Amino acid sequence: MQTLTVGVLADPGLPEKVARSLTDGLFQDLTDQAEPGVGTRWVVEVSRETLPLTAEGDIPLLDHAGRLREEHGWDYVVYLTDLPRAHGGDPMLCEVSAEAAAALISLPALGADHFSGKARKLLATLVGSIRTGTEDYPSPAAMHQALGRTAVRRTSPAGSGDASYIVLPGRMNRVRLLAGMVLSNRPGRLLPALASCVAAAAATGAFGIFYASIWNMSDALSPLRLAMISVVVTAALSGWLIFHNNLWNRPRDAEITWRARWDNASTVITVWLSVAMMYALLWSVLFLVGLAVIEAGYLQSQLGHPVTLLDYVHLSWLAASLGTLAGALGSNFDSDEAIREATYSRREHQRRQLGDTSED
Protein backbone atom coordinates (compact mmCIF):
# COMPACT_ATOMS: atom_id res chain seq x y z
CA MET A 1 0.00 0.00 0.00
CA GLN A 2 1.27 3.45 -0.95
CA THR A 3 1.68 5.99 1.86
CA LEU A 4 1.40 9.69 1.01
CA THR A 5 2.01 12.47 3.50
CA VAL A 6 0.40 15.88 3.32
CA GLY A 7 2.18 18.57 5.30
CA VAL A 8 0.01 21.49 6.35
CA LEU A 9 2.05 24.57 7.25
CA ALA A 10 0.18 27.31 9.08
CA ASP A 11 0.91 30.84 10.19
CA PRO A 12 0.49 31.38 13.95
CA GLY A 13 -2.96 32.45 15.09
CA LEU A 14 -6.15 31.63 13.19
CA PRO A 15 -4.44 29.62 10.38
CA GLU A 16 -2.83 27.28 12.90
CA LYS A 17 -6.13 26.86 14.73
CA VAL A 18 -7.89 26.00 11.45
CA ALA A 19 -5.12 23.60 10.41
CA ARG A 20 -5.32 21.61 13.61
CA SER A 21 -9.11 21.48 13.53
CA LEU A 22 -9.31 19.98 10.03
CA THR A 23 -6.79 17.14 10.39
CA ASP A 24 -9.25 14.29 10.96
CA GLY A 25 -11.76 15.53 8.38
CA LEU A 26 -9.02 16.05 5.78
CA PHE A 27 -7.79 12.49 6.24
CA GLN A 28 -11.32 11.22 5.56
CA ASP A 29 -11.81 13.49 2.53
CA LEU A 30 -8.54 12.35 0.97
CA THR A 31 -9.46 8.71 1.57
CA ASP A 32 -12.92 9.19 0.02
CA GLN A 33 -11.57 10.76 -3.17
CA ALA A 34 -9.00 7.99 -3.77
CA GLU A 35 -9.44 6.00 -6.97
CA PRO A 36 -11.17 2.61 -6.53
CA GLY A 37 -8.73 -0.27 -6.42
CA VAL A 38 -5.74 1.95 -5.61
CA GLY A 39 -4.48 1.33 -2.09
CA THR A 40 -3.34 4.65 -0.61
CA ARG A 41 -2.76 5.42 3.03
CA TRP A 42 -2.88 9.13 3.82
CA VAL A 43 -0.97 10.85 6.61
CA VAL A 44 -1.69 14.47 7.54
CA GLU A 45 0.87 16.43 9.55
CA VAL A 46 0.48 20.00 10.81
CA SER A 47 3.43 22.30 11.45
CA ARG A 48 3.46 25.87 12.72
CA GLU A 49 5.96 27.65 10.52
CA THR A 50 6.27 31.13 9.04
CA LEU A 51 7.94 31.83 5.72
CA PRO A 52 9.54 35.26 5.27
CA LEU A 53 7.72 37.80 3.16
CA THR A 54 9.19 39.09 -0.08
CA ALA A 55 9.90 42.77 -0.67
CA GLU A 56 6.44 42.97 -2.28
CA GLY A 57 4.80 41.60 0.87
CA ASP A 58 4.01 38.17 -0.57
CA ILE A 59 4.75 34.59 0.55
CA PRO A 60 7.08 32.72 -1.88
CA LEU A 61 5.90 29.19 -1.05
CA LEU A 62 6.79 27.67 -4.42
CA ASP A 63 10.40 28.79 -3.98
CA HIS A 64 10.62 26.94 -0.66
CA ALA A 65 8.37 23.95 -1.41
CA GLY A 66 11.16 21.54 -2.38
CA ARG A 67 13.18 22.32 0.74
CA LEU A 68 10.15 21.98 2.99
CA ARG A 69 9.12 18.63 1.54
CA GLU A 70 12.67 17.29 1.87
CA GLU A 71 13.16 18.53 5.43
CA HIS A 72 9.87 17.13 6.71
CA GLY A 73 9.60 14.04 4.51
CA TRP A 74 6.33 15.19 2.97
CA ASP A 75 4.93 14.34 -0.44
CA TYR A 76 2.76 17.47 -0.64
CA VAL A 77 2.83 20.76 1.21
CA VAL A 78 -0.08 23.16 1.72
CA TYR A 79 0.41 26.53 3.38
CA LEU A 80 -2.42 28.28 5.24
CA THR A 81 -2.03 32.01 5.74
CA ASP A 82 -4.21 34.87 6.94
CA LEU A 83 -2.50 37.29 4.56
CA PRO A 84 -5.06 38.60 2.02
CA ARG A 85 -3.98 38.32 -1.62
CA ALA A 86 -5.36 39.54 -4.93
CA HIS A 87 -4.81 39.14 -8.65
CA GLY A 88 -6.15 41.65 -11.13
CA GLY A 89 -8.01 43.46 -8.37
CA ASP A 90 -10.00 40.36 -7.34
CA PRO A 91 -9.47 38.22 -4.24
CA MET A 92 -7.01 35.38 -4.81
CA LEU A 93 -8.00 32.24 -2.95
CA CYS A 94 -5.05 29.99 -3.64
CA GLU A 95 -1.94 29.26 -5.66
CA VAL A 96 -1.24 25.67 -6.70
CA SER A 97 1.55 23.89 -8.58
CA ALA A 98 1.93 20.20 -9.40
CA GLU A 99 5.63 20.63 -10.21
CA ALA A 100 6.31 22.02 -6.75
CA ALA A 101 3.73 19.66 -5.18
CA ALA A 102 2.53 22.65 -3.20
CA ALA A 103 -0.43 24.96 -2.70
CA LEU A 104 -0.97 28.17 -0.77
CA ILE A 105 -4.42 29.11 0.59
CA SER A 106 -5.30 32.65 1.63
CA LEU A 107 -7.93 32.03 4.31
CA PRO A 108 -9.55 35.53 4.31
CA ALA A 109 -10.89 34.88 0.80
CA LEU A 110 -13.08 32.12 2.24
CA GLY A 111 -15.14 34.69 4.13
CA ALA A 112 -16.41 34.16 7.65
CA ASP A 113 -19.12 31.51 7.26
CA HIS A 114 -18.44 27.75 7.59
CA PHE A 115 -14.78 28.70 7.64
CA SER A 116 -13.06 25.46 8.72
CA GLY A 117 -15.33 23.22 6.63
CA LYS A 118 -14.61 25.12 3.42
CA ALA A 119 -10.88 25.17 4.17
CA ARG A 120 -10.85 21.39 4.64
CA LYS A 121 -12.75 20.66 1.40
CA LEU A 122 -10.59 23.12 -0.52
CA LEU A 123 -7.39 21.58 0.81
CA ALA A 124 -8.50 18.08 -0.23
CA THR A 125 -9.43 19.38 -3.70
CA LEU A 126 -6.02 21.03 -4.16
CA VAL A 127 -4.12 17.92 -3.09
CA GLY A 128 -6.14 15.90 -5.62
CA SER A 129 -5.29 18.46 -8.30
CA ILE A 130 -1.59 18.29 -7.49
CA ARG A 131 -1.65 14.51 -7.89
CA THR A 132 -3.47 14.75 -11.23
CA GLY A 133 -1.62 17.79 -12.57
CA THR A 134 -2.65 21.43 -12.47
CA GLU A 135 -2.85 22.07 -16.22
CA ASP A 136 -6.62 21.54 -16.21
CA TYR A 137 -7.21 21.21 -12.47
CA PRO A 138 -8.67 22.12 -10.09
CA SER A 139 -11.75 22.12 -12.28
CA PRO A 140 -14.59 24.64 -11.82
CA ALA A 141 -16.88 21.79 -10.77
CA ALA A 142 -14.47 20.67 -8.05
CA MET A 143 -14.06 24.24 -6.78
CA HIS A 144 -17.82 24.72 -6.76
CA GLN A 145 -18.24 21.57 -4.70
CA ALA A 146 -15.57 22.71 -2.25
CA LEU A 147 -16.73 26.31 -1.88
CA GLY A 148 -20.44 26.06 -2.57
CA ARG A 149 -20.34 28.83 -5.20
CA THR A 150 -19.65 29.10 -8.93
CA ALA A 151 -17.83 32.45 -9.24
CA VAL A 152 -14.33 31.03 -9.65
CA ARG A 153 -11.70 32.02 -12.20
CA ARG A 154 -8.52 30.06 -12.85
CA THR A 155 -5.50 31.80 -14.38
CA SER A 156 -1.93 30.82 -15.12
CA PRO A 157 0.51 33.73 -14.73
CA ALA A 158 3.33 34.00 -17.26
CA GLY A 159 6.75 32.73 -16.22
CA SER A 160 5.49 30.70 -13.28
CA GLY A 161 5.73 27.18 -14.71
CA ASP A 162 2.59 25.17 -14.13
CA ALA A 163 1.44 27.35 -11.23
CA SER A 164 -2.21 28.37 -11.27
CA TYR A 165 -4.06 31.08 -9.39
CA ILE A 166 -7.63 30.55 -8.25
CA VAL A 167 -9.33 33.95 -8.22
CA LEU A 168 -12.80 34.81 -6.93
CA PRO A 169 -14.27 37.57 -9.12
CA GLY A 170 -17.33 39.63 -8.29
CA ARG A 171 -18.58 42.06 -5.67
CA MET A 172 -19.87 39.38 -3.29
CA ASN A 173 -16.46 37.74 -3.17
CA ARG A 174 -14.93 41.10 -2.23
CA VAL A 175 -17.44 41.32 0.61
CA ARG A 176 -16.48 37.80 1.69
CA LEU A 177 -12.82 38.77 1.61
CA LEU A 178 -13.54 41.78 3.83
CA ALA A 179 -15.42 39.58 6.29
CA GLY A 180 -12.52 37.11 6.27
CA MET A 181 -10.01 39.88 6.92
CA VAL A 182 -12.01 41.10 9.91
CA LEU A 183 -12.26 37.53 11.21
CA SER A 184 -8.48 37.11 10.85
CA ASN A 185 -7.92 40.33 12.79
CA ARG A 186 -10.02 38.83 15.63
CA PRO A 187 -11.75 41.94 17.04
CA GLY A 188 -11.46 42.07 20.80
CA ARG A 189 -7.70 41.40 20.90
CA LEU A 190 -7.35 45.17 20.86
CA LEU A 191 -8.89 45.62 24.33
CA PRO A 192 -5.83 44.50 26.37
CA ALA A 193 -3.69 46.97 24.38
CA LEU A 194 -6.11 49.76 25.35
CA ALA A 195 -5.60 49.40 29.10
CA SER A 196 -5.30 53.15 29.73
CA CYS A 197 -8.24 53.88 27.44
CA VAL A 198 -10.44 51.37 29.26
CA ALA A 199 -9.31 52.68 32.67
CA ALA A 200 -10.13 56.29 31.73
CA ALA A 201 -13.51 55.26 30.32
CA ALA A 202 -14.40 53.27 33.45
CA ALA A 203 -13.32 56.05 35.79
CA THR A 204 -15.27 58.72 33.92
CA GLY A 205 -18.34 56.51 33.61
CA ALA A 206 -18.31 55.67 37.32
CA PHE A 207 -17.87 59.37 38.11
CA GLY A 208 -21.08 60.09 36.20
CA ILE A 209 -23.01 57.49 38.21
CA PHE A 210 -22.74 59.67 41.34
CA TYR A 211 -24.12 62.90 39.86
CA ALA A 212 -27.81 63.74 40.02
CA SER A 213 -27.53 65.87 36.88
CA ILE A 214 -26.56 62.74 34.93
CA TRP A 215 -29.54 60.93 36.45
CA ASN A 216 -31.95 63.63 35.30
CA MET A 217 -30.37 63.87 31.86
CA SER A 218 -30.60 60.11 31.30
CA ASP A 219 -34.23 60.23 32.41
CA ALA A 220 -35.01 63.03 29.94
CA LEU A 221 -33.34 61.37 26.93
CA SER A 222 -35.31 58.95 24.80
CA PRO A 223 -33.88 55.51 23.93
CA LEU A 224 -33.44 56.69 20.34
CA ARG A 225 -31.39 59.69 21.48
CA LEU A 226 -29.30 57.48 23.77
CA ALA A 227 -28.68 55.08 20.87
CA MET A 228 -27.59 57.96 18.64
CA ILE A 229 -25.18 59.14 21.34
CA SER A 230 -23.75 55.61 21.56
CA VAL A 231 -23.14 55.50 17.81
CA VAL A 232 -21.47 58.92 17.83
CA VAL A 233 -19.13 58.24 20.76
CA THR A 234 -18.05 54.79 19.54
CA ALA A 235 -17.43 56.21 16.06
CA ALA A 236 -15.48 59.14 17.54
CA LEU A 237 -13.25 56.88 19.65
CA SER A 238 -12.73 54.50 16.72
CA GLY A 239 -11.71 57.37 14.45
CA TRP A 240 -9.36 58.74 17.07
CA LEU A 241 -7.65 55.35 17.55
CA ILE A 242 -7.24 54.86 13.80
CA PHE A 243 -5.71 58.23 13.02
CA HIS A 244 -3.78 58.74 16.27
CA ASN A 245 -2.08 55.34 15.94
CA ASN A 246 -1.48 55.58 12.15
CA LEU A 247 -3.73 52.65 11.32
CA TRP A 248 -4.98 54.28 8.11
CA ASN A 249 -3.23 52.85 5.05
CA ARG A 250 -2.22 55.38 2.39
CA PRO A 251 -1.45 53.63 -0.92
CA ARG A 252 2.03 54.33 -2.24
CA ASP A 253 1.48 52.47 -5.51
CA ALA A 254 -1.47 53.01 -7.83
CA GLU A 255 -1.43 49.31 -8.70
CA ILE A 256 -2.27 48.25 -5.13
CA THR A 257 -5.02 50.70 -4.31
CA TRP A 258 -7.29 47.66 -3.87
CA ARG A 259 -5.16 46.61 -0.90
CA ALA A 260 -5.43 50.03 0.73
CA ARG A 261 -9.21 50.07 0.33
CA TRP A 262 -9.67 46.60 1.80
CA ASP A 263 -7.11 47.24 4.53
CA ASN A 264 -8.81 50.46 5.59
CA ALA A 265 -12.29 48.94 5.49
CA SER A 266 -11.20 45.98 7.62
CA THR A 267 -9.38 48.34 10.00
CA VAL A 268 -12.47 50.50 10.51
CA ILE A 269 -14.70 47.48 11.16
CA THR A 270 -12.16 45.77 13.43
CA VAL A 271 -11.53 48.86 15.55
CA TRP A 272 -15.23 49.75 15.78
CA LEU A 273 -16.14 46.22 16.85
CA SER A 274 -13.43 46.34 19.52
CA VAL A 275 -14.70 49.71 20.76
CA ALA A 276 -18.27 48.37 20.75
CA MET A 277 -17.13 45.43 22.89
CA MET A 278 -15.48 47.86 25.30
CA TYR A 279 -18.68 49.91 25.37
CA ALA A 280 -20.82 46.85 26.16
CA LEU A 281 -18.43 45.77 28.91
CA LEU A 282 -18.39 49.28 30.36
CA TRP A 283 -22.18 49.47 30.32
CA SER A 284 -22.46 46.13 32.15
CA VAL A 285 -20.06 47.23 34.90
CA LEU A 286 -21.73 50.62 35.34
CA PHE A 287 -25.18 49.01 35.46
CA LEU A 288 -24.08 46.79 38.33
CA VAL A 289 -22.38 49.71 40.08
CA GLY A 290 -25.52 51.82 39.71
CA LEU A 291 -27.69 49.10 41.21
CA ALA A 292 -25.29 48.67 44.11
CA VAL A 293 -24.68 52.37 44.88
CA ILE A 294 -27.89 54.23 44.09
CA GLU A 295 -30.80 53.39 46.38
CA ALA A 296 -34.08 53.19 44.47
CA GLY A 297 -35.97 55.45 46.89
CA TYR A 298 -33.37 58.18 46.66
CA LEU A 299 -33.28 57.94 42.85
CA GLN A 300 -37.09 58.20 42.85
CA SER A 301 -36.93 61.38 44.92
CA GLN A 302 -34.53 62.92 42.41
CA LEU A 303 -36.44 61.90 39.29
CA GLY A 304 -39.90 62.60 40.67
CA HIS A 305 -41.52 59.38 39.47
CA PRO A 306 -41.49 55.67 40.41
CA VAL A 307 -38.21 54.00 39.49
CA THR A 308 -37.92 50.79 37.48
CA LEU A 309 -34.98 48.75 36.27
CA LEU A 310 -35.21 50.64 32.97
CA ASP A 311 -34.12 53.84 34.72
CA TYR A 312 -30.89 52.14 35.80
CA VAL A 313 -30.43 50.93 32.22
CA HIS A 314 -30.72 54.48 30.87
CA LEU A 315 -28.42 55.85 33.56
CA SER A 316 -25.64 53.35 32.87
CA TRP A 317 -26.22 53.84 29.13
CA LEU A 318 -25.50 57.58 29.30
CA ALA A 319 -22.62 57.08 31.76
CA ALA A 320 -21.04 54.51 29.43
CA SER A 321 -21.25 57.00 26.54
CA LEU A 322 -19.54 59.70 28.60
CA GLY A 323 -16.87 57.24 29.69
CA THR A 324 -16.22 56.02 26.15
CA LEU A 325 -15.70 59.57 24.94
CA ALA A 326 -13.22 60.16 27.76
CA GLY A 327 -11.40 56.97 26.74
CA ALA A 328 -9.84 58.86 23.83
CA LEU A 329 -7.78 60.83 26.35
CA GLY A 330 -6.62 57.69 28.11
CA SER A 331 -5.61 56.08 24.81
CA ASN A 332 -2.78 58.63 24.52
CA PHE A 333 -0.94 56.64 27.18
CA ASP A 334 -1.27 53.29 25.39
CA SER A 335 1.56 51.97 23.21
CA ASP A 336 1.11 52.78 19.52
CA GLU A 337 3.00 49.65 18.48
CA ALA A 338 0.98 47.42 20.82
CA ILE A 339 -2.26 48.83 19.38
CA ARG A 340 -1.13 48.25 15.79
CA GLU A 341 0.00 44.71 16.57
CA ALA A 342 -3.29 43.89 18.32
CA THR A 343 -5.43 45.36 15.53
CA TYR A 344 -4.14 43.14 12.72
CA SER A 345 -3.36 39.51 12.17
CA ARG A 346 0.33 38.72 12.60
CA ARG A 347 0.97 38.42 8.86
CA GLU A 348 -0.81 41.67 8.07
CA HIS A 349 1.17 43.41 10.80
CA GLN A 350 4.41 42.09 9.30
CA ARG A 351 3.40 43.28 5.84
CA ARG A 352 2.66 46.77 7.17
CA GLN A 353 6.00 46.88 8.97
CA LEU A 354 7.69 45.85 5.73
CA GLY A 355 5.88 48.62 3.88
CA ASP A 356 6.88 51.21 6.47
CA THR A 357 10.51 50.08 6.28
CA SER A 358 10.52 50.31 2.48
CA GLU A 359 9.04 53.80 2.65
CA ASP A 360 11.71 54.93 5.10
Average pLDDT over the chain reads 82
Distances (CA, A) of 113 to 43, 124, 147, 304: 28, 19, 11, 50
Domain ranges of the chain: 2-179, 187-344
Pick the residue with more confidence: 45 or 250?
Answer: 45
* 310-331 tens-digit pLDDT: 999 999 999 999 999 888 888 7
Instruction: State which amino acid sits at residue 52.
Output: P
Hey, what CATH topology would domain 2-179 get?
Collagenase (Catalytic Domain) (3.40.390)
pLDDT at site 360:
47
Q: What is the pLDDT of residues 184-193, one digit of tens each?
A: 888 888 888 8
Helical packing angle, 257-293 and 171-185, nearest 10°: 50
pLDDT in tens, 236-283: 999 998 888 888 877 655 456 667 788 888 889 999 999 999 999 999
Q: What is the mean pLDDT of residues 22-34?
A: 75
Residue 277: what pLDDT?
93
The number of beta carbons lying within 10 Å of the beta carbon of residue 78 is 29
Q: Is the pLDDT of residue 179 over 60?
A: yes
Mean pLDDT throughout 215-221?
90
Rounded Cα–Cα distance for residues 228 and 205 (Å): 18
HEC secondary structure over 227-272? HHHHHHHHHHHHHHHHHHCCCCCCCCCHHHHHHHHHHHHHHHHHHH
158 band by pLDDT with thresholds 50, 70 and 90: low
- Range 151-177 average pLDDT: 80
